[in-house]
Amino acid sequence: MAEQLWAPWRFDYVSKVDSQPQGGCIFVDLPAQDNDRENLILHRGETAFVMMNAFPYTGGHLLVAPYRHVSDLLQLNDQELLEINRLLAECTRWLTHAFSPDGFNIGVNLGRAGGAGIPSHVHWHVVPRWSGDTNFMTATAGTRVIPLGLDRAYELILEAKNAE
């Protein structure tokens, strides 16, 4: 018999997959707005920014993206590449201060076949990891349990960022 895990907050995600408006991109549209908290934007740099993943793999899952709408690493200029790498390092500092993870997964998925959920805009994932963060739910049901809400995670990361 199949078990069910009721997760109504996931509906926003599954109902929007592949339904991004033509020409729309969260990595362009959200930074153009003036509501960083609502849009989960934690940092704005000159050429790139950091935001929380609204549908995280673990609590504190961050995204780093250039403002320019490009789909490939080869389209980024040196200034963007340098700032993105600096932001990746800063993300690990903020997350370490906020959550004391045991490690990180940091990576970029290029193209739909490479696992990119938004293949038209290159972006990096910074995922804090803890020893033992895969529990019986992951092992037996293929389901992740995220014990930290987005609002609280945003506050903790912002506090860590501002404590520098």
Q: How far is CA 150 from the centre of its chain?
A: 11
Please give the helix or strand (H or E) that residue 140 lies within, else none.
helix 136-141
The DSSP 8-state label assigned to residue 21 in this structure reads: P
Could you tell me what percentage of the chain is helix, strand and coil, using 3-state DSSP and rounding each to the nearest 5?
40, 15, 45
123 catalytic per annotation: yes
Residue 97 amino acid letter: H
Contact 62, 51 (CB under 8 A): yes
Q: Which of 43, 69, 97, 123 is catalytic?
A: 123
Instruction: Count CA atoms closer than 13 A to 20's CA, side-chain side.
Output: 14
Which residues are catalytically annotated?
123
